Amino acid sequence: MYKVFIKPFLFLFNPEKAHHLTFSLLKFFLGAGFMKKIASSILVVDSPKLERTVAGIKFPNPVGLGAGLDKDAKVTDELACLGFGFIEIGTVTPVGQPGNEKPRAFRLPKDAALINRMGFNNEGAKAAAERLRKRKNHKVIIGGNIGKNKVTPNENAVNDYVICFNELFDVVDYFVVNVSSPNTPNLRELQDKEPLQNLLQTLQNENKKRPSQKPIFLKIAPDLNNDQLNDIVSIVTATNIAGVVATNTTIAREPLTTNAEEVKQMGMGGLSGKPLAKRSTEVIRYLRQHLDKKFAIMGVGGIHSAEDAMEKIEAGADLVQLYTGFIYEGPGLIKAINKKLLGI
């Protein structure tokens, strides 16, 4: 149904308008309790064999929604009906901000990909936290992806992450530290060893002040070389965070079949979707070979089929996340992955 009717309709609009329209459709069709039950009965694969305990959290299944779709936690209840084992909101920043100028999102249908330079557009951590407090479904596992405001210089970035951490602490199950988006100026400089270790250790210190701690993950870029990945391994080990989300979008533009001039006109931004699949899996495999097994890996990037998800898991991912694949393939992809994991 999605690929025959809904996707062609949504793809008539520019990606950002389609995004907002999708939220309206989710609220309209899944706003009522009985409709949520119907959707769940069709899409949710419920089996104890799918459960995974990762970083001390019991996930009903290992297929989650990556950050970026529901930045402000506006449709977590509706998305939970589609079969996700967990939902990651954000990236949120301490203060709401509009993000980069439009147009800032582009489709590459020939490549089943997207280019975006959204720039952490969101309503702020406080607004997201308030919505999460009011949600009806408190069973679904929620991750909080946190970042810094565009106007905050890197030397003060730690403060922004601490503000978001404290604001969301009581309403999320785990955190993801985003220092790898290519769409906020100089943000990726925070992936350098010294500032990154300082940031993560500061958050861990905040974490330890709480009676019950929350797992902290680090989201990394696919564009890191092996020496940089070795630094990531060292930092994760030293700070003893829960693990890594691999990977964010890429600034690379190959391999693509879309006309090069057309891609050039789209401008800067992070590329996601099928072209990212191979590299993100390579990063997962490298991390799994070098990280102690007590550290978890969430695999994300180019998952458009159950087979794609299995590649990530076989490479060493404990959990997987969808974003672009969900847009292109629809909620049936979640069900297909979970059925594949069950061998049915």
31 — pLDDT class (breaks 50, 70, 90): confident
Q: Per-domain residue ranges for the chain?
A: 2-342
Q: Does domain 2-342 have CATH number 3.20.20.70?
A: yes
Residues in the chain: 344
Q: Is 47 a catalytic residue?
A: no
- The predicted pLDDT at position 34 comes to 85
d(CA 166, CA 32): 32
Taking only the tens place, the pLDDT of each residue in 154-196 is 999 999 999 999 999 999 999 999 999 999 999 999 999 999 9
Contact 86, 319 (CB under 8 A): yes
User: Does the pLDDT value for residue 131 go beyond 90?
Assistant: yes
d(CA 54, CA 256): 35
Mean pLDDT of 113-131: 98
Query: Considering 181, 234, 272, 305, which one is annotated as catalytic?
Result: 181
Q: Worst-scoring range by mean pLDDT, 27-36, 144-153, 209-218, 230-239? A: 27-36
Taking only the tens place, the pLDDT of each residue in 286-338 is 999 999 999 999 999 999 999 999 999 999 999 999 999 999 999 999 999 99
- The predicted pLDDT at position 1 comes to 85
DSSP sequence for 96-149: -B--SPSP-EEEEGGGTEEEE---S-BS-HHHHHHHHHH-S--SSEEEEEE---
108 — pLDDT class (breaks 50, 70, 90): very high
User: Does the pLDDT value for residue 255 go beyond 90?
Assistant: no
CA nearest to 334, candidates 15, 87, 67: 87
User: Does the pLDDT value for residue 58 go beyond 90?
Assistant: yes
**pTM exceeding 0.85:** yes
Contact 307, 274 (CB under 8 A): no
